[in-house]
């Protein structure tokens, strides 16, 4: 771990600052939109625009990098993010915010692609897994920290937007000044969705549904808090608990996934997340209950994303894993793009109001549990001893991080196979 920090501390610091800025602007936007009188449907389109832009950016960024290089792409996109964050309070109009959020989503996707490819290049086979784990932890800690900054910024003024813009701007410095060589860049073409669905129906349906849940948790949580008339402090703590749950539950569940039938674990986590959402619907008047609901919701949805990728890998050869992960990432982004619109409609005063937030998550999670139970009746489970390792990834990363996770899994499986072969040879020789 010390070796990883010494070689990649600047990258991790820059990415951490980017994540803090991103988390801060998402929460402040949700609060400011309520102050400006935007409807929940307006806010759903604004949040949706980010995920649509992010999805588009993940497709376009590789070509931009090939044409003009890592440094120019990173500097241009990060500058665009910083500028848009200042425009929000100057032009508080739904159409302007929708266009701004789409641009920010596009730019963040490209920035993550650049930074993650640099991080991958800075690591080697011996520490790539540790580098990725540390990166995921930095991302989650950055999101948690961003909610603390909400408390010192006035959503009704300019301070919160300025702080987010400054954080993004200064994130360039450690990355661009400490990295001299640019890494070679290549990405794997995603597997066709028809082929991917034949390989793993549960993986495809699950990642789509989980994308919808995660976009609601992170994108619409501030809107829910404002509609439910929580205080700014309560909203920031509520949102932070989603990330705390994701951070603390990811690795224990990853350990468990390598030792049990993954379909049963997907079923159990979906039921737990659905049950938490139902509790939020029934007992949401209690702030303490809301915090527990947020912890369990974040702690189930994020590990489910990693678990579904690992489950799909169990039916693939090493040569197809990266392509499959690209397809799953696209489905996750598609679900994330649709989710905010449904949540915004459900939270409208003419439909369910704030309770619609939890109804939406409960329906998706319970539906995923039912589908997982159905798929368990359609084919035999892969024996636990034949399943690959699960590598923790989050849905807010680019395809590069997911491909790196796949590389780590493949390397671990090849090493395990080599060790097993050597043990067999030793046993044969001794006999």
Beta strands in 193-292 (DSSP E): none
CATH 1.20.1250.20 fits 8-183+192-421, yes or no: yes
Residue 291 — pLDDT band, cuts 50, 70, 90?
very high
Choose between 63 and 202: higher pLDDT.
202
Query: What are the C-alpha distances in Å from 234 to residues 34, 140, 403?
Result: 16, 19, 37
**Top-ranked range on mean pLDDT: pick from 99-108, 164-173, 388-397:** 99-108
CA-based nearest residue to 46, from 76, 111, 91, 79: 91
| pLDDT at res. 323 | 75
Residue 376 has pLDDT above 80, yes or no: yes
**Top-ranked range on mean pLDDT: pick from 30-34, 59-63, 418-422, 427-431:** 30-34
| pLDDT at res. 261 | 83
| pLDDT at res. 402 | 65
With both helix axes pointing from N to C terminus, report the angle between 318-346 and 201-219 in degrees, rounded to the nearest 10: 40
Tell me the CB-side half-sphere exposure of residue 68, using CA atoms within 13 A.
12
CA-based nearest residue to 388, from 262, 200, 226: 262
| pLDDT at res. 235 | 92
Q: Which long-range CB contacts under 8 A does 123-130 form with residues at least 24 apart? A: 123/4, 123/7, 123/8, 125/411, 127/3, 127/4, 128/404, 128/407, 128/408, 128/411, 129/391, 129/408, 129/411, 129/412, 130/1, 130/4
**Top-ranked range on mean pLDDT: pick from 11-15, 194-198, 358-362:** 358-362
Residue 119 has pLDDT above 60, yes or no: yes
**Can you give the pTM of this predicted structure?**
0.84
Residue 107 has pLDDT above 60, yes or no: yes
Residue 122 has pLDDT above 60, yes or no: yes
How do residues 358-373 score in pLDDT, each as one tens digit? 999 999 999 999 999 9
Residue 194 has pLDDT above 80, yes or no: yes
314-350 CB burial, b ≥16 within 10 A, e <16: bebeeebbbbbbbbbbbbbbbbbbbbbbbbbbbbbee
| pLDDT at res. 396 | 67
Residue 279 — pLDDT band, cuts 50, 70, 90?
very high
Q: Where are the domains of the chain?
A: 8-183+192-421
Q: Could you tell me what percent of the chain has a pLDDT over 70?
A: 80
Residue 98 — pLDDT band, cuts 50, 70, 90?
very high
**Top-ranked range on mean pLDDT: pick from 94-98, 148-152, 219-223:** 94-98
Paired tokens of 41: 């449907």
| pLDDT at res. 125 | 57
- Hey, how many other C-beta atoms are within 10 angstroms of the C-beta on 423? 10
How do residues 17-55 score in pLDDT, each as one tens digit? 888 988 888 888 888 988 888 888 888 899 889 988 888
| pLDDT at res. 387 | 66
Average pLDDT over residues 223-236: 90
Average pLDDT over residues 407-428: 66
Residue 97 — pLDDT band, cuts 50, 70, 90?
very high
| pLDDT at res. 15 | 81
| pLDDT at res. 365 | 95
Give the contacts of 123 (CB within 8 A, at least 6 positions apart).
4, 7, 8, 130, 131, 132
How do residues 308-357 score in pLDDT, each as one tens digit? 888 888 887 766 777 777 788 888 888 888 888 899 899 988 888 899 99
CA-based nearest residue to 201, from 305, 301, 55, 315: 315
| pLDDT at res. 18 | 86
Average pLDDT over residues 160-176: 83
DSSP state of 386: G
> How buried is 231 (Cβ within 10 angstroms: 0-12 exposed, 13-18 middle, 19+ buried)?
exposed
**Top-ranked range on mean pLDDT: pick from 149-163, 258-272, 275-289, 299-313:** 275-289
Residue 153 — pLDDT band, cuts 50, 70, 90?
confident
- Phi, psi at residue 393, to the nearest 5°? -135, 160
Paired tokens of 285: 């008047």
Average pLDDT over residues 199-215: 91
CA distance 192 to 186: 19
| pLDDT at res. 358 | 95
Average pLDDT over residues 399-406: 65
Q: Could you tell me what percent of the chain has a pLDDT over 90?
A: 21
Note whether 321 and 406 are within 8 A (CB). yes
Mean pLDDT rounded to a whole number for the chain: 82
Paired tokens of 295: 């912890």
Residue 266 — pLDDT band, cuts 50, 70, 90?
very high
């Amino acid at each position: 771990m010390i070796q990883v920090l010494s070689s990649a501390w600047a990258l991790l610091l820059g990415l951490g600052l980017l994540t803090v800025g991103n988390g801060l602007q998402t929460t402040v936007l949700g609060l400011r939109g309520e102050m400006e009188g935007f409807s929940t449907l307006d806010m759903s389109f604004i949040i949706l625009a980010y995920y649509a832009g992010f999805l588009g950016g993940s497709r376009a960024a590789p070509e931009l990098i090939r044409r003009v290089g890592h440094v120019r792409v990173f500097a241009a996109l990060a500058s665009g993010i910083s500028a848009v964050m200042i425009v929000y309070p100057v032009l508080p109009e739904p159409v302007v915010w929708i266009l701004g959020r789409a641009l920010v989503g596009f730019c963040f996707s490209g920035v993550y692609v650049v930074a993650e490819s640099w991080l991958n290049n800075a690591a080697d086979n011996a520490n790539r897994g540790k580098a990725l784990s540390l990166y995921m932890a930095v991302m989650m800690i950055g999101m948690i920290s961003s909610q603390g900054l909400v408390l010192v910024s006035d959503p009704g003024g300019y301070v919160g937007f300025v702080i987010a813009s400054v954080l993004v701007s200064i994130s360039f410095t450690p990355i661009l000044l400490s990295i001299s060589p640019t890494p070679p860049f290549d990405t794997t073409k995603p597997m066709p969705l028809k082929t991917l669905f034949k390989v793993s129906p549960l993986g495809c349906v699950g990642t789509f549904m989980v994308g919808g849940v995660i976009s609601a948790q992170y994108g619409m949580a501030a809107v829910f808090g404002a509609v439910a008339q929580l205080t700014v402090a309560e909203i920031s703590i509520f949102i932070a608990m989603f990330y705390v749950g994701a951070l603390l539950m990811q690795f224990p569940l990853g350990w468990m996934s390598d030792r049990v039938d993954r379909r049963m674990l997907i079923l159990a986590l979906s039921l737990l997340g659905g049950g938490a959402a139902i509790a939020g619907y029934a007992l949401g008047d209690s702030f303490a209950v809301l915090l527990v609901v947020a912890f369990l919701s974040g702690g189930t949805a994020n590990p489910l994303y990693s678990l579904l990728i690992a489950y799909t890998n169990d039916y693939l050869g090493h040569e197809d894993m990266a392509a499959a992960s690209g397809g799953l990432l696209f489905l996750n982004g598609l679900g994330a793009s649709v989710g905010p619109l449904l949540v915004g409609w459900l939270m409208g005063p003419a439909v369910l109001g704030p309770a619609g937030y939890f109804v939406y998550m409960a329906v998706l999670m319970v539906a995923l549990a039912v589908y997982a139970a159905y798929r368990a009746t359609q084919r035999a489970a892969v024996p636990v001893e034949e399943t690959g390792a699960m590598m923790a990834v989050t849905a807010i990363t680019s395809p590069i991080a997911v491909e790196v996770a796949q590389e780590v899994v493949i390397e671990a499986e090849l090493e395990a196979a080599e060790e097993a072969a050597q043990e067999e040879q030793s046993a044969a020789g001794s006999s």
